[in-house]
């Protein structure tokens, strides 16, 4: 086994050399995971908010289920999505298996419960803090959601980043539904799995370093945007 | 915040499927053909000649066959002759064609606790490993290599199922993962020569037993039956099979080298 110095050197060289295949893999990883994250956020945030402020029968049960689904094993999700999208499955006619769309679907299933469960907690706490003010406006519970989402935006951004972490790091689901097809569905994690299975451990670790670097860059970018939003610079103007 | 949503909306729009375009077929194949680099080496010539892109899903033979039965593939390229013939007999495949062969080898640690080095009798070597209670890492995943390994164990009369968890370790993983485990455990492993030649984490392991006729490892190619799965692109799939078993494909297989050594030998007969 080679040293970490060599691994780091190779990772740096991979990034700087502008290897076309590597960049295609990085871009596909981002495309798939950010799209899955966007969809999961559009579903998960309203769901989490509704569970936080809504009062309806079975609410506790739904919260428990959503929280438990944060721990869904990717390989099980991958298998379930594979059986759905397979040519012999109920959605086989859409011809989505072994495409990036299939990978996005699997990651949406994995990420939505994380965004919903964590945002529910954030919004529930905020709702308690702001209860008096919101009561004074006389808003119905569901009408309070936009205000709560806006007031909690900084914490919710962390929630969304947690979802991104799950999406970009998982391999079990995307390797089953994507098939790790070169130039079509190969992403960072499946490329790492492939190089590991070829025994190219240094290259695999170097790719892992590139993946972590990518995640740090995304988190830093969100951090800067968040700081601008807090300091009153109208980032949303 | 609004900017972020605009960005996301734009991103989603950009994701609109770019599915149309060049014609492609889906090849369900095994890890040995991909990990050795064979498919990367020979497919570009076919794609250039026909304009048909070959998308490879590389899994174990057992999984590849099951995926093909479900219709998730146009062509199957695997190495487990009995399972391939059963696949065709059951009507899932049109016909099986010989493509190439290589051989399995027994690799193991240099200190060789079972003393099998240099032997050419695979069954005797496995029996010696069992007698020495020396660690052996098995695929355990119904892949072509695993089925071949089980057939050899059957000839030894050793009950490996009873030894599982002891000296017999079933990884339930692909060839590469099993080799990584075997190197880590100082265990013996049955692998195909092509994967071994291209494997980058050999550690102290070397080939100890080779050359037994029972280690012959033939590969077959099969068109998934369009009568069972109408969406199969039979024309493009058959074009690929004809190319692979024809003079150009056979020459490409023969020319493929790993570290200067030939690891696949063309075997398609006159059709």
Catalogue all structural domains in chain B, each as residue range(s) with its CATH number: 23-102+218-266 (3.40.190.10), 103-215 (3.40.190.10)
What confidence score (pLDDT) does residue B1 get?
Answer: 54
For residues B53 and B24, the answer to whether their CB atoms sit within 8 Å is: yes
Q: What is the number of helices (H) and of strands (E) in chain A?
A: 11, 0
Report the domain count for chain A. Answer: 1
Each residue's pLDDT expressed in tens, for chain A with a length of 237 residues: 456 787 788 888 877 887 888 889 999 999 999 999 999 999 999 999 999 998 889 999 999 999 999 999 999 999 999 999 999 999 999 999 999 999 999 999 999 999 999 999 999 999 999 888 888 888 887 888 888 999 999 899 999 999 999 999 999 999 999 999 999 999 999 999 999 999 998 889 989 999 999 899 988 988 888 777 777 555 443
- Judging contacts by C-beta atoms under 8 Å, the chain A residues touching residue B1 are 150, 153, 229, 235-236
- The CATH number that applies at residue A203 is 1.10.3720.10
What confidence score (pLDDT) does residue B189 get?
Answer: 98
Tell me whether residues B17 and A99 touch, CB distance under 8 A: yes
Angstrom distance (rounded) from CA A156 to CA A145: 13
What confidence score (pLDDT) does residue B19 get?
Answer: 45
**Residue of chain B whose alpha carbon sits nearest to that of A100:** B17
Tell me whether residues B1 and A196 touch, CB distance under 8 A: no
**Helix runs in A139-200, H state only:** 145-151, 153-169, 172-178, 188-197
Angstrom distance (rounded) from CA A220 to CA B254: 51
For residues B181 and B114, the answer to whether their CB atoms sit within 8 Å is: no
The alpha carbon of residue A95 is apart from the nearest alpha carbon of chain B, in Å, by: 9
Structure tokens at A115: 């965004």
Residue A8 placed within a domain: no
Residue A61 placed within a domain: yes
B13 touches chain A (CB under 8 A): no
The alpha carbon of residue A100 is apart from the nearest alpha carbon of chain B, in Å, by: 9
**Residue of chain B whose alpha carbon sits nearest to that of A197:** B176
Query: What are the two backbone dihedrals, phi and then psi, of residue B58, each rounded to the nearest 5 degrees?
Result: -105, 110
B196 touches chain A (CB under 8 A): no
What is the enclosing helix (H) or strand (E) of A210?
helix A201-230
Residue A6 placed within a domain: no
For residues B136 and B122, the answer to whether their CB atoms sit within 8 Å is: no
Residue ranges for chain B with pLDDT beneath 50: 16-20
**Residue of chain A whose alpha carbon sits nearest to that of B8:** A38
B176 touches chain A (CB under 8 A): yes
Residue A41 placed within a domain: yes
Domain that holds residue A222: 19-230
The alpha carbon of residue B219 is apart from the nearest alpha carbon of chain A, in Å, by: 20
Tell me whether residues B11 and A35 touch, CB distance under 8 A: yes
- Judging contacts by C-beta atoms under 8 Å, the chain B residues touching residue A99 are 17, 19
- Judging contacts by C-beta atoms under 8 Å, the chain A residues touching residue B8 are 38, 41
Predicted TM-score (pTM) of this structure: 0.88
Tell me whether residues A197 and B40 touch, CB distance under 8 A: no
Give the closest residue to B245 by CA, choosing from B225, B268, B223, B222.
Answer: B268
B200 touches chain A (CB under 8 A): yes
Q: DSSP for B69-87? A: HTT--SEEEE--HHHHHHH
Query: Three-state SS for B101?
Result: strand
What confidence score (pLDDT) does residue B5 get?
Answer: 58
What confidence score (pLDDT) does residue A237 get?
Answer: 39
How long, in residues, is chain A?
237
**Residue of chain B whose alpha carbon sits nearest to that of A101:** B17
């Amino acid at each position: 086994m080679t040293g970490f110095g060599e691994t780091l050197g190779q990772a740096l060289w991979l990034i700087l050399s502008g290897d076309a295949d590597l960049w295609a893999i990085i871009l596909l990883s981002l495309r798939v995971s950010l799209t899955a994250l966007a969809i999961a956020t559009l579903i998960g945030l309203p769901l989490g908010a509704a569970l936080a402020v809504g009062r309806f029968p079975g609410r506790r049960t739904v919260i428990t289920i959503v929280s438990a689904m944060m721990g869904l094993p990717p390989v099980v999700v991958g298998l379930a999505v594979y059986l759905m999208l397979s040519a012999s499955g109920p959605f086989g006619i859409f011809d989505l298996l072994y495409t990036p769309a299939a990978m996005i679907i699997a990651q949406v299933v994995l990420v939505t419960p994380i965004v919903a469960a964590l945002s529910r907690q954030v919004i529930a706490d905020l709702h308690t803090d702001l209860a008096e003010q919101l009561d004074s406006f006389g808003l119905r519970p569901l009408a309070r959601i936009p205000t709560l989402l806006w007031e909690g935006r900084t914490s919710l951004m962390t929630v969304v980043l947690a979802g991104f972490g799950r999406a970009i790091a998982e391999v079990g689901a995307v390797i089953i539904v994507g098939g790790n097809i070169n130039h079509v569905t190969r992403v960072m994690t499946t490329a790492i799995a492939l190089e590991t299975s070829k025994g190219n451990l240094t290259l695999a670790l170097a790719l892992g370093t590139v993946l972590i670097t990518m995640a740090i860059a995304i988190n830093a970018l969100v951090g800067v945007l968040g700081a601008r939003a807090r300091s009153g610079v109208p980032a949303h103007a | 915040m609004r900017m972020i949503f605009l960005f996301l909306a734009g991103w989603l729009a950009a994701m609109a499927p770019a599915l149309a375009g060049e014609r492609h077929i889906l090849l369900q194949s095994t890890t040995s053909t991909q990990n050795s680099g064979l498919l990367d080496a020979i497919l570009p010539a076919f794609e250039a000649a026909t304009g048909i892109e070959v998308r490879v899903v590389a899994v174990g033979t057992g999984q590849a066959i099951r995926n093909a039965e479900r219709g998730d593939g146009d062509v199957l390229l695997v190495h487990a002759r009995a399972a391939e013939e059963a696949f065709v007999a059951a009507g899932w495949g049109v016909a099986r064609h010989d493509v190439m062969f290589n051989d399995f080898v027994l690799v193991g640690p240099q200190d060789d606790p079972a003393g099998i080095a240099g032997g050419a009798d695979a069954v005797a070597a496995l029996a010696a490993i069992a007698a020495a209670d020396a660690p052996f890492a098995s695929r355990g995943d119904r892949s072509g290599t695993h089925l071949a390994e089980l057939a050899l164990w059957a000839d030894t009369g050793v009950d490996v199922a009873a030894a599982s968890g002891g000296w017999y370790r079933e990884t339930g993983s692909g060839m590469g993962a099993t080799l990584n485990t075997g190197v880590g455990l100082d265990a013996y492993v049955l692998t195909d020569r092509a994967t071994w030649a291209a494997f980058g984490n050999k550690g102290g392991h070397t080939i100890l037993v080779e050359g037994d006729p029972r280690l012959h490892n033939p590969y077959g190619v099969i068109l998934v039956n369009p009568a069972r799965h109408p969406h199969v692109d039979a024309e493009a799939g058959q074009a690929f099979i004809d190319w692979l078993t024809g003079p150009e494909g056979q020459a490409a297989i023969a020319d493929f080298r790993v570290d200067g050594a030939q690891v696949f030998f063309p075997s398609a007969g006159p059709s």
